[in-house]
Amino acid sequence: MPEDWEAGGFGIYIHWPFCQAKCPYCDFNSHVSRQIDQARWLSAYLKEIDRHAAETPGRVVRSVFFGGGTPSLMPPETVHAILDRIRHHWPRANDLEVTLEANPGSVESARFRAYNQAGVSRISMGIQALNDRDLQRLGRIHSVDEALKAFDIARSTFDRVSFDLIYARQDQTPDQWRTELKQALNMAIDHLSLYQLTIEDGTAFGDRYRIGKLRGLPDEDDSATMYDITQEVAVAAGFNTYEVSNHARPGAESRHNTLYWRYGDYVGIGPGAHGRLTLNGTRMATEAIRMPDAWLSHVEQGSGDKLRSALTLDDQATEFLLMGLRLSDGVDMNRYAALAGRPLPSTSLQELSDMGMVEQSGPILRASDQGRLVLNAVIAKLLE
């Protein structure tokens, strides 16, 4: 019988923590730095790859994801060397997907060709809005014109290009979002990530919101309407909602993110990167040291790990449910029961089903369209 993690696969996440500017809504581990010792950083990434490879020999890598930060600021030589080292250590799936996140302000034709030659097969671009006023409000350093030019460069270099948009922005109406989304779908190749603006603690937007200076945010009704518009317009254009915020033509789903949602194993390398690894039959949660300089120093001394802890079966079952119910494919309740040592509570399942929040088909449980709107509440009910 295969290991449980094999149901989701095995991938590698590489975190590049540097950006040209910090966006006010962003709570990712990103930093602005005037000087980066590129040789030192490359050496650290390779050392961490070597360390993790020694623990996971023979695993078949299905996906590699360069996230950030702004990975399109990485020298192509660095990306090439990292992918070469991964190829040296692990066997790869025939359809290996290598994604690199990019911001329009850092896109150049020669650089993108070099990434492609290094082995990057997919670009995920952070466009975020299709009007200049909102780009400025979101702290983006590119204009719409620059974003469109960058997208054309990406599209001419890579077969697979996705981009992100944020909706429920300040002073945005549902009709404005519908128009913008249709424009985006006319541009899109095969994948779009569409995120509702959330105000996170510890961000500049969070600080402004707390003191009442972040004005014009849509109310709950308008936000819900925009979510409905997102699903309706995307599906009508042939982009299935395969995950709460992700839309793709059939077969174009992000393999790396799907690996997370299907609760596979993944190595996390770089400042603040998280991982999930099954080692000697025990599933481990890993987290790297968050601050870039501290991570670099600790890697040079032996390891970038901040923590590594065994997950209980209850922890694993909860994570499996939290991740898997985001997918339109849903979760296998038998896998949940195998992890938790007990089935999902029949009373909660029945109540949620009666309310139209979940749907069951044999052992597969899915959140309905209505249930996805309040997914956290649905999961909380199932975990009572």
329: Cβ contacts below 8 Å, ≥ 6 apart: 242, 364, 366
The rounded percent of the chain whose pLDDT value lies above 70 is: 96
User: How far lies 327's CA from each of 37, 97, 253, in Å?
Assistant: 40, 19, 11
User: How far lies 279's CA from each of 47, 268, 285, in Å?
Assistant: 19, 14, 11
pLDDT digits (tens, 9 = 90+) for 157-173: 999 999 999 999 999 99
Looking up tokens 């040079």 gives 300
Rounded average pLDDT over 316-337:
95
Task: Return d(Cα 91, Cα 87) in angstroms, integer.
Answer: 7
pLDDT over threshold 50, residue 70: yes
DSSP assigned state of 272: T
Task: Return d(Cα 304, Cα 264) in angstroms, integer.
Answer: 22
pLDDT digits (tens, 9 = 90+) for 248-266: 999 999 999 999 999 999 9
Q: Which residue has the higher pLDDT, 18 or 191?
A: 191
- Burial tier of 384 (Cβ tally within 10 Å: 0-12, 13-18, 19+): exposed
**Confidence at 313, pLDDT banded by 50, 70, 90:** very high
pLDDT over threshold 60, residue 2: no
What are residue 364's DSSP bridge partners? 332, 361
For residue 32, what pLDDT is reported? 80
For residue 24, what pLDDT is reported? 63
Rounded average pLDDT over 106-128:
94
pLDDT digits (tens, 9 = 90+) for 354-383: 999 999 999 999 999 889 989 999 999 999
The rounded percent of the chain whose pLDDT value lies above 90 is: 81
What are residue 167's DSSP bridge partners? 196
Nearest to 33 by CA among 76, 75, 69: 69
pLDDT digits (tens, 9 = 90+) for 267-307: 999 999 999 999 999 999 999 999 999 999 999 999 999 99
pLDDT over threshold 60, residue 229: yes
Is the CB of residue 14 less than 8 Å from the CB of residue 64? yes
Is the CB of residue 20 less than 8 Å from the CB of residue 106? yes
pLDDT digits (tens, 9 = 90+) for 3-39: 544 567 999 999 999 887 767 656 677 778 778 999 9
DSSP assigned state of 27: -
Q: Which two tokens stand for residue 346?
A: 């029949």
Task: Return d(Cα 81, Cα 316) in angstroms, integer.
Answer: 34
Task: Return d(Cα 288, Cα 286) in angstroms, integer.
Answer: 7
For residue 4, what pLDDT is reported? 46
- Burial tier of 82 (Cβ tally within 10 Å: 0-12, 13-18, 19+): buried
Peptide bond into 69 cis (omega under 30): yes
What are residue 342's DSSP bridge partners? none
**Confidence at 1, pLDDT banded by 50, 70, 90:** very low
For residue 25, what pLDDT is reported? 59
Q: Mean of the per-residue pLDDT values for the chain?
A: 92
Single-letter amino acid code for the residue at 190: D
For residue 7, what pLDDT is reported? 60
Task: Return d(Cα 278, Cα 6) in angstroms, integer.
Answer: 10
For residue 34, what pLDDT is reported? 75
For residue 163, what pLDDT is reported? 95
